[in-house]
DNA sequence: CCGAAGATGGGGTGTCGACCCCATAGGCGC
DNA sequence: GCGCCTATGGGGTCGACACCCCATCTTCGG
């Protein structure tokens, strides 16, 4: 077959216990060999381009660089490396963002122990892996609203979300980004509308789920 | 010695991978026997009072009941069970709250793989375990400000924090708690002052760190 | 080449949050 | 009993935020 007998795997998560858990689960698969670990996004990127890595398992929420950011960089600098995104949150929104960032799979931490090996093998074969419960969500979503949604935030809007979630005022954000307060408010308004949220508190929780900031 | 040869251990965390990681690390200790797992606070409480448990390892942030709440209940209903709190965040504040809730130890998830076995054994001997890096923090803190701080929020204030972090307005919170809007604002003001925070966004992140809500 | 979308910024309005003042009632410890 | 803390609630002020209106300029894809 075309799959190497021993796929070289990188595990990146800021919690040692999660890395241990992953390593333990992957031990059961003789075709998956964990050859590197990383506890933040920068480290993950370094290891993945320094070593030859077939599969990078990335946590969405990591210090320094988020899993999404690492995936984007990896696609540029090491396109042959497959990416499997690991997330705490069951959200179609995040799933699509991960796939767009270059990930081939998306697995929930709560369900990871059951299906992670399947996911790894599927992704290594060059296919996409969606965790089982997302399929239901997808179908529901495409039926309810005509597959129109999934408007993701623009890079500029993501910057603003991050600053809002760090408890900066509009005035401070304007100074930071060197734009007017009015524009910051304009961005915030657009963001709230896109995500269907009411205020900065909801945005803060969104930013944490999305790995933009740590709680 | 007085320690049973096989201490019966409960692992409670909402992420299967963390439970796997803990189990893997604890396998190396022949005197620690993982006999139960739980994925939320209620389940943890049930297992701990249903089974005879010597040591409960509790994640701070769990659905239904936080680790702190489980610890408080356990002290009442199963006082012989020792509690080791597992947290993502390096904060003296949380450490003290955990100890006051009835925990005998406090371990960081990021450092847990190195010292968790030591922590378990120490706690089972009836002593307190503080993870190494907190000791420095403690010393610093007691020197800088005269050990005066550590004002914890009252139960009522915790209720308010939780609702604020769920993006409820003062008006909604007042209706929920059947008090006036002015009192809600009063509570919010006191909370912000106690914690040295500026607004609801910072409070939201605090509530998530403290396990009061999930992100 | 033209339209769509992103980013910029101005105007206004009303509500809510953050920060002061004040008071009273109940409980707990010394 | 006196003080302290908790919880309650009234007054006011000011700025931030949420929600409208409007516009220009660039960039990118068809």
Q: Do B110 and A14 touch (CB under 8 A)?
A: yes
Q: In this complex, is the C-beta atom of A162 within 8 Å of any C-beta atom belonging to chain B?
A: no
- Quote the mean pLDDT of chain A: 88
Q: Distance between alpha carbon B176 and the CA centroid of its chain, in Å?
A: 26
CA of A193 to C1' of D20 (A): 13
Q: Is B148 helix (H, G, I), strand (E, B) or coil?
A: coil
Smallest CA–C1' separation from B201, nucleotide: C17
Q: How much is the pLDDT for A129?
A: 87
CA of B56 to C1' of C28 (A): 33
pLDDT tens-place string over residues A60-69: 999 999 999 9
Q: How confident is the model at residue A143 (pLDDT cuts 50, 70, 90)?
A: very low
Give the pLDDT of chain B (215 residues) as one tens digit per residue: 555 578 999 999 999 999 999 999 999 999 999 999 999 999 999 999 999 999 999 999 999 999 999 998 998 899 899 999 999 888 777 887 888 888 888 998 888 888 899 999 999 998 888 877 666 555 555 444 443 445 578 999 999 999 999 999 999 999 999 999 999 999 999 999 999 999 999 999 999 999 999 99
Of A25, A164, A205, the CB nearest to B215: A205
Give the residue-averaged pLDDT of A191-209.
Answer: 95
pLDDT of A53 > 90? The answer is yes
Q: How confident is the model at residue A191 (pLDDT cuts 50, 70, 90)?
A: very high
DSSP B3-59: S-SSEEEEEE-S-HHHHHHHHHHHHT-TTEEEEEEESSHHHHHHHHHHTT-SEEEEE
Q: Do A17 and B25 touch (CB under 8 A)?
A: yes
Q: How much is the pLDDT for A181?
A: 97
Q: In this complex, is the C-beta atom of A64 within 8 Å of any C-beta atom belonging to chain B?
A: no
Q: In this complex, is the C-beta atom of A25 within 8 Å of any C-beta atom belonging to chain B?
A: yes
Q: How much is the pLDDT for A133?
A: 67
CB pairs under 8 A between A and B: 113
Q: In this complex, is the C-beta atom of B209 within 8 Å of any C-beta atom belonging to chain A?
A: yes
Q: Distance between alpha carbon B7 and the CA centroid of its chain, in Å?
A: 22
- Determine the Cα–Cα distance for residues A169 and B68; give it in Å rounded to an integer: 32
Determine the residue among A24, A59, A201, A213 to mutate to test chain B binding: the one whose Cβ has the most chain B Cβ atoms within 10 Å. A201
Q: How much is the pLDDT for A163?
A: 97
Burial A45-60 (b: 16+ CB within 10 A, else e): bebbeeeebbbbbbbb
Residues B188-196: contacts with CB under 8 Å, at least 24 apart: B188/B160, B188/B164, B190/B157, B191/B153, B191/B157, B191/B160, B191/B161, B194/B151, B194/B153, B194/B157, B195/B153
Q: How much is the pLDDT for B136?
A: 58
Task: Output A162 or B127, whichever has higher pLDDT.
Answer: A162
Give the residue-averaged pLDDT of A127-149.
Answer: 59
Q: How much is the pLDDT for A142?
A: 47
Q: How much is the pLDDT for B187?
A: 97
Q: How much is the pLDDT for A60?
A: 93
pLDDT of A28 > 70? The answer is yes
Task: Output A136 or A60, whichever has higher pLDDT.
Answer: A60
Tell me what percent of the residues of chain A surpass a pLDDT of 70: 89
* Residue A32, number of CB atoms within 10 A of its CB: 21
Are residues A160 and A191 in contact, defined by beta-carbon separation less than 8 angstroms? Answer: yes
CA atoms within 13 A on the CB side of B86: 31
Burial A152-167 (b: 16+ CB within 10 A, else e): ebeeebbbbbbbbbbb
Q: In this complex, is the C-beta atom of A195 within 8 Å of any C-beta atom belonging to chain B?
A: no
Q: How much is the pLDDT for A22?
A: 93
Give the residue-averaged pLDDT of A35-58.
Answer: 95
Determine the residue among A17, A18, A207 to mutate to test chain B binding: the one whose Cβ has the most chain B Cβ atoms within 10 Å. A17
pLDDT tens-place string over residues B53-72: 999 999 999 999 999 999 98
pLDDT tens-place string over residues A83-111: 999 998 887 778 878 888 888 889 988 88
């Amino acid at each position: 077959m075309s799959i190497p007998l021993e796929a070289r795997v990188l595990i990146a998560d800021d919690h040692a216990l999660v890395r241990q858990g992953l390593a333990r689960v992957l031990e059961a698969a003789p075709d998956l060999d964990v050859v590197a670990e990383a506890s933040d996004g920068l480290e993950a990127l370094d290891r993945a381009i320094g070593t030859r890595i077939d599969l990078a398992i990335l946590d969405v929420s990591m210090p320094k660089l988020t899993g999404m950011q690492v995936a984007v960089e990896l696609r540029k600098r090491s396109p042959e490396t497959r990416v499997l995104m690991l997330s705490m949150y069951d959200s179609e929104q995040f799933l699509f963002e991960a796939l767009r960032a270059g990930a081939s799979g998306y697995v929930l931490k709560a369900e990871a122990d059951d299906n992670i090996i399947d996911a790894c093998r599927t992704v290594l074969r060059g296919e996409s892996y969606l965790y089982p419960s997302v399929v239901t969500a997808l179908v529901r979503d495409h039926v309810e609203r005509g597959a129109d949604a999934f408007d993701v935030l623009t890079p500029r809007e993501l910057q603003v979300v991050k600053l809002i979630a760090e408890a900066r005022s509009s005035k401070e954000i304007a100074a930071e980004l060197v734009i007017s307060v009015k524009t910051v408010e304009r961005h915030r308004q657009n963001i709230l509308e896109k995500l269907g949220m009411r205020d900065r508190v909801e945005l803060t929780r969104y930013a944490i789920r999305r790995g933009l900031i740590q709680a």
